[in-house]
Amino acid sequence: MAKDEEKSRLYKLKPLIDRMPAVKAPDGHVHFRRKMFWLIFVLITYFLLTNVFVYGLDPAEGLDMFEQFRAIFAGEMGSLVHVGIMPIVNASIVMQLFQGADIINLDMKDPDDKAVFQNMQKFLVIIMILIQAIPQVYGFLEPAPAFIENVGLNWARGLIILQIFIGGYFLFLLDEVVSKWAIGSGISLFIVAGVAQGLFTGLFNWAPIEGGAGDTMPAGTIPRVIEAMREQSAAEFAGGGLEGLLVSPPNPVMGLIFTIVILLIVAYIEGSRIELPLAHGRARGARGRYPIKLAYASVIPVILAAALLANINLFAMLFQNHLEGFPVLGGADWLGIFPEGETQPVGGAVWYISQVEGLHDWLLPIVSERYDYMLSPTPEITHTRVQMAIRVTGYFLFMVITCVLFSKFWVKTTNMDAESVAEQIQESGMQIPGFRRDPRVLQRVLKRYIPTITTFSGLFIGGVAAGSDMLGSVGHATGIALFLAVSILTQLYEQIGKEQMMEMHPALRDFFGEQ
């Protein structure tokens, strides 16, 4: 009885959350070829969903609240997957914060508690889809006039919300298909797909710049350079043409150079690790290594940090432009100033942590008086160079601090902390040579590395992600998105290799905890 009283209050919701729609897990081992089939199938389905647009929505009048985060959150403006993976990520943030603060009182080593945690997260995904969809439909997405005329404004908005909800939840189910029947994570797969698409169009798009005010130059880096070399004279290059190619958006040449540098840095980070030697306690000569990677907490903390920043931006815009009557926050310029039709703040507290997008967004107005006009985003607002420097520093610190916090939460909730890893090594029959085979001894050894590397991992990946945003890239693939894409592809490559190894040597499945 006492044991029941110690259980989390979430168990009261168990009859409801256990009935949530879910993808059934396989009963036994899934063959490698079948896993690859489901991986490709889900990827194709995702691309199809991004091209199925919401019926009744007026694409010309809509405002994309998350335009600068699209590559990260794997959504497409106005499509069935308009909200992308944001509801999944937001649900994960809430559950991690509650778990890290010991509010929900769940032991992730207990299978029953872990099942309650996962089912509650599924329930939160539904709530988060509605939280994301409803404000956007009522504030920033406009139904087509003909659709309103046929069904009325309220029904039009309701049907659009329903379509976005169905698409968002279907994307969540696709994520479950990947995690249970394929390799890796659906969230990661969708992010890579979005980043790859953005990089390709950023490099090779021959179409003129959208909204270029008469500029007929191609938007893609490579065709833009070719066109400039064909059409511009040496005098035009010297008069600003070369500078425009190097640093001016979209897709500047410096962005391409920095993209390559970022890819190389992240690839190096993913390959850096500490390896603890292991030996089998009963099988003499059987040895192995336990790798502790520099990016120990994986890419999830970066996703969570970007999601938190996107939500702060969203709600600041709602309070400033659509909830003017809300106490304290409604219509408050100190919180954030958003010009009509813009999704990026130009002033207020939110501006000081807003995402920086390339050298032209901050460095040029700081170092050169020629770019003073960039310090005045509107006639009413003029920033000083000091304020611009504070903004860049604020964004950098926000990413670093939140990545450290989320790294600690993620390691704890996924059983990657020293205590959990020690138990896993103990159960596999392995031990560290020269040390007594005791989980407490293993814990002491692992605590020399894991807590420190977790903090350093958060600092490093947050710094690299923010720094790469400050340098810039091509194809609207922000530095965070590039960091995620390379990290995900590296991990996917390692997972595919592990799957192939287990397919050839089935005995290894027990060591890796696979069926």
Q: Which pLDDT does position 1 carry in this prediction?
A: 36
Query: Which comes out higher in pLDDT, residue 213 or 60?
Result: 60
Q: Which pLDDT does position 515 carry in this prediction?
A: 53
Helix (H) or strand (E) holding 59: none
Query: Which comes out higher in pLDDT, residue 396 or 227?
Result: 396
Over residues 309-315, the mean pLDDT reads 88
- Report how far residue 129's alpha carbon sits from residue 126's, in angstroms, rounded to the nearest whole number: 5
Residues 6+ apart with CB under 8 A from 102: none
Over residues 374-388, the mean pLDDT reads 91
- Report how far residue 224's alpha carbon sits from residue 207's, in angstroms, rounded to the nearest whole number: 10
Per-residue pLDDT for 140 more than 90? no
Are the C-beta atoms of 3 and 105 separated by less than 8 Å?
A: no
Q: Which pLDDT does position 430 carry in this prediction?
A: 73
Q: Which pLDDT does position 325 carry in this prediction?
A: 82
Which residue in 334, 328, 366 sits closest to 347, CA to CA? 334
Q: Which pLDDT does position 103 carry in this prediction?
A: 79
Q: Which pLDDT does position 81 carry in this prediction?
A: 93
Of the listed ranges 213-217, 314-318, 474-478, the least confidently predicted one is 213-217
Strand order from edge to edge, sheet including 273-280: 287-293, 273-280, 430-431
Per-residue pLDDT for 282 more than 70? no
What count of Cα atoms within 13 Å lies in the side-chain half-sphere of residue 84? 27
**SS3 annotation, 359-422:** HHHCHHHHHCHHHHHHHCCECCECCCHHHHHHHHHHHHHHHHHHHHHHHHHHHHHCCCCHHHHH
As to burial, measured by CB atoms within 10 angstroms (0-12 exposed, 13-18 middle, 19+ buried), residue 243 is middle
Q: Identify residue 329 by its one-letter amino acid code.
A: L
Q: Look at strands 273-280 and 287-293 and give their pairing.
A: antiparallel
As to burial, measured by CB atoms within 10 angstroms (0-12 exposed, 13-18 middle, 19+ buried), residue 170 is middle
Structure tokens at 191: 């992010």
Q: Which pLDDT does position 505 carry in this prediction?
A: 62
Q: Which pLDDT does position 130 carry in this prediction?
A: 94
Query: Which comes out higher in pLDDT, residue 246 or 6?
Result: 246
- Report how far residue 494's alpha carbon sits from residue 500's, in angstroms, rounded to the nearest whole number: 10
Query: What percent of the chain shows pLDDT beyond 90?
Result: 26
Are the C-beta atoms of 449 and 336 separated by less than 8 Å?
A: no
Per-residue pLDDT for 360 more than 60? yes
Q: Is the pTM of this model over 0.85?
A: no
Runs of H (alpha helix) within 232-341: 234-236, 242-247, 253-271, 300-321
- Report how far residue 43's alpha carbon sits from residue 41's, in angstroms, rounded to the nearest whole number: 5
Of the listed ranges 2-6, 112-116, 367-371, the least confidently predicted one is 2-6
Over residues 353-377, the mean pLDDT reads 87
- Report how far residue 471's alpha carbon sits from residue 276's, in angstroms, rounded to the nearest whole number: 36
Fill in the DSSP letter of residue 67: G
Over residues 132-161, the mean pLDDT reads 91
- Report how far residue 370's alpha carbon sits from residue 368's, in angstroms, rounded to the nearest whole number: 5
SS3 193: helix
Name the range with the highest mean pLDDT among 3-7, 21-25, 69-73, 508-512: 21-25
Cis peptide before 250 (omega within 30 of 0): yes
- Ordered by where they begin, the domains of the chain are 8-16+33-182 (1.10.3370.10), 251-515 (1.10.3370.10)
Q: Which pLDDT does position 5 carry in this prediction?
A: 47
SS3 451: helix
Over residues 241-247, the mean pLDDT reads 77
SS3 208: strand
Buried b (16+ CB within 10 A) or exposed e, 72-84: bbbbbbbbbbbbb
Gyration radius of the chain's alpha carbons: 25
- Report how far residue 229's alpha carbon sits from residue 217's, in angstroms, rounded to the nearest whole number: 11
Structure tokens at 415: 């059983």
Q: Which pLDDT does position 143 carry in this prediction?
A: 92
What count of Cα atoms within 13 Å lies in the side-chain half-sphere of residue 283? 9
Residues β-bridged to residue 57: 143
Q: Look at strands 273-280 and 430-431 and give their pairing.
A: antiparallel
Each residue's pLDDT tens digit, 168-199 = 999 999 999 999 999 888 888 898 888 888 88
Give the count of beta carbons closer than 10 Å to the beta carbon of residue 338.
Answer: 21
Which residue in 191, 1, 7, 161 sits closest to 89, CA to CA? 191
